[in-house]
Amino acid sequence: MTQTPARRDVVSFVRRSTRMNASQQRNWEAHQARWVLPLAHRELSTSVAPGQPFDAEAIWGRTAPLWLEIGTGNGEACAAIAGRHPEVNYLGFEVFRPAVASALGLVAREGLTNVRFAEVDGVEALAHWIPADSVDRIFTFFPDPWHKARHHKRRLVNPATAALIASRLRPGGSWHLATDWPDYAEHMREVLDGRTDLVNVHLNGSAHRDVDPDGWAPRPEARPLTRFEQRGLAAGRVIRDLVYVRPAAGPAHA
Ligand SMILES: C[S@@+](CC[C@H](N)C(=O)[O-])C[C@H]1O[C@@H](n2cnc3c(N)ncnc32)[C@H](O)[C@@H]1O
């Protein structure tokens, strides 16, 4: 008998009211059937039942480079990046339905046929649905900072998630992160810089050409100024970007 993996007790999000405003409701009703994937869950609605095939042909009608975003929020970055890159299959994970509904409004307005959303915990999706060695890029922009020390375990960037993300990337695939919180930026560096399955491409001594001795990445041109980034800038915080690549000669994953 197949064992069901343990439920994730510590998650990176809070369960909020799923009440939608009128425009979100309209977007949801008009567009969810086309853009939101009907994944099966386990006991929690944000969980992902194992054993579902990940079939790009069935989802997008094509195989193409796969880009994932964890925590798409209102979809601003997703719509801008996927719009600039029609050649990729873009999949956004977001647990908060009203945010998915807002994002649907953007992708529908732009007619972005390369985007799909899954209304689930992105970590669950990576663990139980996305195959190993299959993803070209993963984006985590402005993840919830979880400021209190006793909540740090809820941060999306932690050693277990990093190992999972590295295992889902193809060799040469990359993970792009951004945060406006200095202590979270430092935490990301502490968790990620020492790994062998992910290499900070902007850190001096890395095997990659694009080297900045500081380790921070330049702001990607394709990322629009989202509400979270604007809020950070308005409060005088420095925005930090990071890019990690799975080394080409890295270990194969199960
Ligand atoms: C601070 S917001 C940032 C949203 C967006 N990336 C932006 O920059 O505008 C973080 C978002 O991540 C979502 N989130 C947090 N953990 C998640 C997870 N494990 N899977 C999917 N979504 C998640 C939250 O619901 C929230 O919408």
| 251 located within any domain | no
| 138 located within any domain | yes
- For the chain, the first-to-last Cα distance in angstroms comes to 20
| 16 located within any domain | no
Q: Please check whether residue 200 is in contact with residue 247, taking contact to mean a CB–CB distance below 8 angstroms.
A: no
Alpha-carbon span 128 to 5, nearest angstrom? 9
Q: Whose CA is nearest to atom 12 of ligand 1?
A: 71
Residues making up the binding site for substrate: 148, 180, 226-229
The count of structural domains within the chain is 1
Helices 97-110 and 76-84, interaxial angle, to 10°? 30
Q: Whose CA is nearest to atom 14 of ligand 1?
A: 71
Instruction: Name, in order, each residue with C-beta under 8 angstroms of 83's C-beta and a sequence gap of 6 or more.
Output: 110, 112
Helices 97-110 and 22-35, interaxial angle, to 10°? 70
Q: Whose CA is nearest to atom 5 of ligand 1?
A: 73
| 2 located within any domain | no
Q: How far is the CA of 252 from the centre of ligand 1 (A)?
A: 29
Q: Residue 4: its pLDDT value, please?
A: 47
Instruction: Name, in order, each residue with C-beta under 8 angstroms of 62's C-beta and a sequence gap of 6 or more.
Output: 56, 89
- Looking from the CA of 69 toward its CB, the CA atoms found within 13 Å total 28
Q: Residue 186: its pLDDT value, please?
A: 97
Residues making up the binding site: 69, 94, 121, 144, 148, 180, 226-229
pLDDT band at 71 (very low <50, low <70, confident <90, very high): very high
pLDDT in tens, 201-246: 998 777 666 677 799 999 998 899 999 999 999 999 999 999 999 9
CATH number of the domain that residue 209 is part of = 3.40.50.150
pLDDT in tens, 135-177: 999 999 999 999 999 999 999 999 999 999 999 999 999 999 9
| 232 located within any domain | yes
Q: Residue 88: its pLDDT value, please?
A: 98
Range of the domain at 207: 22-245
Tell me the helices (H) and strands (E) count for the chain, helix number first. 8, 7
Q: Residue 17: its pLDDT value, please?
A: 83
Cβ of 114 below 6 Å from ligand 1: no
Which regions of 142-211 does DSSP assign to beta strands (E)?
Answer: 169-179, 199-200
Alpha-carbon span 16 to 85, nearest angstrom? 32
Alpha-carbon span 63 to 85, nearest angstrom? 14
Q: Please check whether residue 211 is in contact with residue 202, taking contact to mean a CB–CB distance below 8 angstroms.
A: yes
| 5 located within any domain | no
| 107 located within any domain | yes
Instruction: Name, in order, each residue with C-beta under 8 angstroms of 22's C-beta and a sequence gap of 6 or more.
Output: none
| 15 located within any domain | no
Q: How far is the CA of 144 from the centre of ligand 1 (A)?
A: 7
